[in-house]
Amino acid sequence: MKELEQKILEKGVVLPGDVLKVGAFLNQLIDTDLLKKMAEETANLFSNQKITKVLTIESSGLPFATAVAMRLSVPMIYAKKSASSNMTSDVYYAEVFSYTHGKLFKIRIGKEYISSDDIVLITDDFLASGNALKGLISLVEAAGAKVAGIAIEIEKQYQGGGDELRANGFKVESLAKIASMQEGRIVFCD
């Protein structure tokens, strides 16, 4: 999506540790016009699926997941990274290593929110090695539900996570695919 790529070039900041900061338009200060266009594009990419729910992991992927779910007129659910007093122990869970935070999370979804009848579109803001997505896939599979596909705002293609998921038969659509990046330079895939 050219508009997203242009915004990344204008406002994205490459930080040490191979981190792309997009807080100025995607996950702290949110450009709602861009978000709406991204949701429309994603809905078009998955228009042939009978999606019943959109799933993401907290927290920076929530705006995108919500916008996509609204565009598809389906509920959005998200996996929590920590237990809370308002969540029962009857959950599906998976362990996920977070590249951004450098630690292991036990993500969870209450069993009452996903069932074997669901066809789930998984979304997230970034795809690098694919750890978060593998965890989300395992939650969907544990519920006996079907993964309709995976929608990503920004894929770091050079880290291989998307290629691995595609090789495992998942439909992965990324709105921007980065071939390489370093301070002051971001190169997108063709």
pLDDT in tens, 8-45: 999 999 999 889 999 999 989 999 999 999 999 999 99
Q: Which fold has domain 35-177?
A: Rossmann fold (3.40.50)
Cis peptide before 59 (omega within 30 of 0): yes
Provide the token pair at 168: 């495992």
Question: Rounded to an integer, what distance in angstroms lies between the CA atom of residue 96 and that of residue 35?
Answer: 26
pLDDT at 59: 87
> Does residue 84 register a pLDDT over 90?
no
> Does residue 125 register a pLDDT over 80?
yes
How many CA atoms lie less than 13 Å away from 110 in the CB half-sphere?
Answer: 9
Lowest-pLDDT range of 60-69, 90-99, 116-125, 160-169: 90-99
Strand 53-57 to strand 119-127: parallel, antiparallel, or no bridges (unpaired)? parallel
The model's confidence at residue 76, banded by pLDDT at 50, 70 and 90, is: very high
70 Cβ contact list (under 8 Å, min separation 6) = 39, 76
Question: Rounded to an integer, what distance in angstroms lies between the CA atom of residue 9 and that of residue 187?
Answer: 9
